[in-house]
Amino acid sequence: MLAMGATTMEEGNVLVVADLFLDGRWPHGDVEYVYAPGNVWTVGAAFWALGPSVLVERLVGLAYRALLIWGLYRLARPWGRGTATVAALTTWVLLAPFGLFAYPWLCGLALLCAGTALVIDGGARRSTAVGAGLLGLAVFHQVVLGPAVLVVLGTEAWQTTRARRRRLATGLAGGLS
C-alpha cells in the first residue's frame, strides 16, 4: 500500500496542492481545491518536514486511519474491550481496500471520532479541551462536519459545569484558530 504510485485523481489533487502550498500558493486563492484547507496544511507540513513524496502523503493517510481507529475504539470501550477491539478491526477491514492516501474526509471523520471520545470521557480534565480542539480541527478539515461538532459540544455544554464549559470553549477556539 505504501509503495504503489498515486492511484486516483483525489490523491493527485492532494499531492499537487500540498506541494504548491510549500511554494507559497494558497488553496482556494491561488489553487483550486474542493475541500477545506486543513488537509493541505497537514500534508504540506509533512512534506516540509520529510520532503514531498507519495510515501510521505501515504504515511499521513496511515496516521489518519490510526486516529480514526483509536477514536472508534475509545467510543466503543464502554461496551467492553472485546466490542471495542471488534469495532477497531472492522474499521480497518473496511478501510483497507481504499488504500492509504490522505483523504480529507477520512481526516475530518477521524478528528470527529477522536475528539468526541475525549470530550465524552474527559470529565473535568484537560482531555476535554484537547477533544474540543480536535473537534475544531475536524471542521478545519471538513466544513460539513460543523453540525456534528455542534451537536457533540452543545449536548456536553448543556449538561456540565461552568469550568468544563470553559475547557470546551477554549479547546474549540484553539482547534478553529
pLDDT on residue 64? 96
**46: in domain:** no
Backbone angles phi and psi of 27, in degrees to 5: -65, 140
**8: in domain:** no
For residue 169, what are the contacts with CB-CB under 8 A and spacing of at least 6?
132
Count of structural domains, the chain: 1
User: The pTM is what?
Assistant: 0.88
Count of other CB atoms within 10 angstroms of residue 162: 7
Taking only the tens place, the pLDDT of each residue in 27-39 is 777 777 777 888 8
**110: in domain:** yes
**26: in domain:** no
**67: in domain:** yes
pLDDT on residue 16? 83
Residue 45 three-state SS: helix
Q: What is the mean pLDDT of the chain?
A: 88
Q: Which residue has the higher pLDDT, 43 or 15?
A: 43
pLDDT on residue 177? 81
Taking only the tens place, the pLDDT of each residue in 117-147 is 999 987 767 889 999 999 999 999 999 999 9
> Residue 112's domain spans which residues?
53-176
The pLDDT > 90 percentage for the chain reads 49
**5: in domain:** no
**135: in domain:** yes
Q: Across 17-167, where does the E strand assignment appear? A: none
pLDDT on residue 110? 96
Q: Alpha-carbon dihedral of residues 60, 32, 23, 21, nearest 10 degrees?
A: -30
pLDDT on residue 48? 94
**pLDDT above 80 for 25:** no
User: Measured on CA atoms in the order 146, 151, 155, 156, is the torsion positive or negative?
Assistant: negative
Please, which pLDDT band fits residue 4 given cuts at 50, 70 and 90? low
**pLDDT above 90 for 114:** yes
Rg (C-alpha) for the chain, rounded Å, is: 17
Residue 117 grid cell:
471520545
**151: in domain:** yes
